[in-house]
Amino acid sequence: MGRSNDLIISGGENVYPAELENVLADCPQIAEAAVLGIEDAKWGEAACAVVVRRPGARLDEAGVLALFADRIARFKHPRRVVFVDELPKNALGKVQKGELRKLL
């Protein structure tokens, strides 16, 4: 049930955060990441990637956005990238996206 609430509807198109998170997980410079929907004046909602860099990684927003080029449709790309030191998790280790929304 929780994952169904994560669906991002951007400009009438469905964007599944898990699809974007899989792209981010393939990057060796990213320790962990989560994707959630944020309000967007033009599209209703837009994807936002919240990223934890691996120690010593020099990844910036442009580098993260470049990971999506030629891999998924352009309308699914995150419109914003936020870097954090760690993702908020519950006792079972699951990312608490509600807490992430409060940070944004």
Tens of pLDDT, residues 74-85: 999 999 999 999
Overall domain count for the chain: 1
Query: CATH code at 64?
Result: 3.30.300.30
The pLDDT value recorded for residue 1 is 42
pLDDT category at 103 given cuts 50, 70, 90 is confident
For 52-58, which contacts have Cβ atoms below 8 Å and span 24 or more sequence positions?
Answer: 52/83, 52/84, 52/85, 52/86, 52/87, 53/29, 53/83, 54/28, 54/29, 54/30, 57/29, 57/30, 58/29
Residue 17 pLDDT class (50, 70, 90 cuts)? very high
Residue with tokens 């998170």: 21
Can you give the residue range of the structural domain that contains 96?
Answer: 2-103
Whole-model pTM: value is: 0.89
Whole-angstrom distance, CA of residue 91 vs CA of residue 3: 18
